[in-house]
Copies of this chain bind each other. A is one copy, B any other.
Amino acid sequence: MNVLELKDFRAYYGSKRVINNLNMAIKKNKITAIIGPSGCGKSTLLMSLNTMLEEAEGRTEGQILFNGKDVHSISKEEVRRRIGIVFQKPTPFPFSIYKNLTYAPIYYGVKDKKRLDGIVVEKLKISGLYEEVKDEIHGSALKLSGGQQQRLCIARALTVEPDVLLLDEPCSALDVKNTANIEKMLMNLVQDYTIVIVTHNLSQAKRISDYTAFMLDGELIEYDETHRIFTSPQDNRTKEYIEGIYG
């Protein structure tokens, strides 16, 4: 089933077009990886999906369907709540871990202390952080390591119970161990969520994703099951990129 669908999609910054006529459907409960060289429009695409592009002074044309409905027919808040996004640089709020995770639930009206506690523990467990931080849940989130911060941000994105989780190079600032942790976590999450991940680490895409999309210069060159993209790409440019100079 398709959770998100893009039809004739174009994105602009001012008058500069950075995504051109893109058609693509994202499958439910799968991990979709988006790869492509720097500047090809991956982040722009991701941000368009939950209407965050507007905040970056961008503009879109064409259709984005979310569960079959045009996202512009749904309120911005609703779209963003149901399609979470995590950016490359981990940005926990300058609060305690606890407050980071209750921030959005409180906004959405959860008041009961027990329920809030429950959410915090649950999301920390999902993100594999619980054991590591359980004793300092009220300590500042800024004191966590980069990898822990990133996992916290993912946990935080989950506190609003989204259907889809978009990740923009979530591991590029992290070391091997943290990256492995996050990959493990994503592979668990995919049972309940739909995940779209932008990565420039091809082996990561290969390891964790079910589908892979290759973009070049604002166009979707190829989109298929991951193993096919990596073993028998149809387009020459995909092939070149994958065998590319980067190992």
Point out residues on A near B: beta carbons under 8 Å.
37-39, 146, 173-176, 179-180, 183, 201-204, 206-207, 241, 244-247
Contact = CB atoms under 8 A, between A and B. Distances in A.
Contacts of A241: 176
Contact of A204 (B183, B201, B206, B245): B245
Nearest to A146: B38
Contacts of A206: 247
A239 to B, nearest CB: 13
B179 A245 contact: yes
Contacts of A175: 37-39
B176 A247 contact: no
A209 B201 CA distance: 23
Contacts of A176: 37, 241, 244-246
A174 B201 CA distance: 14
A38 to B, nearest CB: 5
B247 A203 contact: yes
A83 to B, nearest CB: 28
A140 to B, nearest CB: 18
